[in-house]
Amino acid sequence: MPLAERPIGVFDSGIGGLSVLRALRAELPHERFVYLADSGHAPYGERDARFVAQRTHAITAYLRAQHHIKALVVACNTATAAAIHEVRSSHPDLPLVGVEPALKPAVQQSQTKRIGVIGTRGTLGSEKFRALHASLAGQVEFILQACDGLAHAIERSTEQALHGSAETPEVRALCARYISAMGQFGNEAGQIDTLVLGCTHYVFALPTLRALVGPQVQIIDTGDPVARQTRRLLAQVATLAPEFLPGDAGAVQLLTTGALAPLQAAAQRWLQLPAQQCERIALP
């Protein structure tokens, strides 16, 4: 298959990266995608960095060998922080896009100069995040909140996604606990006027988060910027899919190392993709 017609690989520790895949499909409608949810080894955010790096290397190797991907989007903040520099060294020929909490856009948009950041403990405690945080020191005040258990609760809620809200009482309670711990939100002096979602899973709790922080607070995630960066990288190396690609242009293959039902439910709910496009794989 010509390089331009090969799929783009996307992976996350679970279903959270589907929020990034959704943005990628909107930005790049002619591309093929293969998405891998490493749900059998989730949650990454509460694992040590070495384990996350090992999984990232294994998944990259699998997607290259079995699916011949032309680019890889690491749609997981924790995996990006733990391993993207190593993957770049090991696969210098592979266009690679990671995700990180959108602190820089938040700094530009905040008026009160108080910005809340929610993420996993693995992301907020990583060297990569600390360096990003330190680079913006003095410009604003960041209020950081590790949300233990929230990504996993969102993951567990997905089987309810076809029967109403995917936001279970557990998800709502965890969101309320962590938002309350950060302080007062609003657009007055001293209030937090911008909330950065530092985990791709959190987009799927957006209605609850919006209700908690109020309508005037800006909520920033990374899906659209990642999609635009992916387009730029593919354009630079001239591997964007032809606009009139024959065959299955825009096709998506969804894989998981964990239970199949949550991925099927999430794919149908948030991407309007049929359950038969999902497959369970073994990836030791």
**What residues act catalytically?**
76, 199
DSSP 36-97: EE-GGG--GGGS-HHHHHHHHHHHHHHHHHHH--SEEEE--HHHHHHHHHHHHHH-TTS-EE
Rounded-to-integer distance, Cα 69 and Cα 10, Å: 9
Instruction: Give CA–CA dist 223/183, Å, rounded.
Output: 26
Token pair in block for residue 45: 């955010």
Pairwise CA distance, residues 271 & 15, whole Å: 11
Could you identify the residue written with the tokens 């992301």?
123
Q: At 82, which amino acid appears?
A: A
Q: Kindly give the interhelix angle for 18-27 and 260-271, rounded to the nearest 10 degrees.
A: 40
Half-sphere exposure of 74 (CA within 13 A, CB side): 29
Partners of 22 in beta bridges = none
